[in-house]
Structure 1
Amino acid sequence: MMEFNFRSEQGAIRRVNGRYEIDYTKLPSAIEKVSKELLEIEATGDRARAEAWFKKYDSVPSELQSALRSVTDVPVDIDPVQPFPEPVQ
């Protein structure tokens, strides 16, 4: 969710006429920026910076919630069931 929100903020993901689009010209820069930010937080161990990051980007935007609700009744043609070869213990 955080990467979605960050990429949206950077303009790499945007909602146009009720649909989400990816701007492939902005995507590489957005990926670079989010990677740099997260790696710097990890490398420095800056807890306050990490908490600020989570606070800013960890929620599901209302537009996305609405979009997801609008497809809950879409029929599913395939319901894949993948058996495990061995019992999971």
Structure 2
Amino acid sequence: MAFTAKTKEYTSEAGNQYTFQNVPNSKQAEIMDKGTGLYGKVLNSNMMPLMLENVVVVPNGLTMDEFETWEELEEVTNAAFNFLRTGK
């Protein structure tokens, strides 16, 4: 069975809209390897940029510093990570 990209619309608590898109399993494995440290602990400084680069497709090209608050950055990247892992 071939990979078919899925998308999800997401609205943050602040009312900002984002579109998530999943990636092929090989890319997901690469993201997990780069974004986690010893014993699989998620490293925010690695994982957050990977979520913004690979999963958040609208708006495109977001960086961590473009978010007004840490709270929204964390909310959006956590939601993107959950979507990447579950497709929901």
TM-score scaled by length of structure 1:
0.28
Normalising by structure 2, report the TM-score. 0.28
Q: Look at both structures and tell me which one has the larger radius of gyration over its CA atoms.
A: 1
- Considering fraction of residues, name the structure with more strand: 2
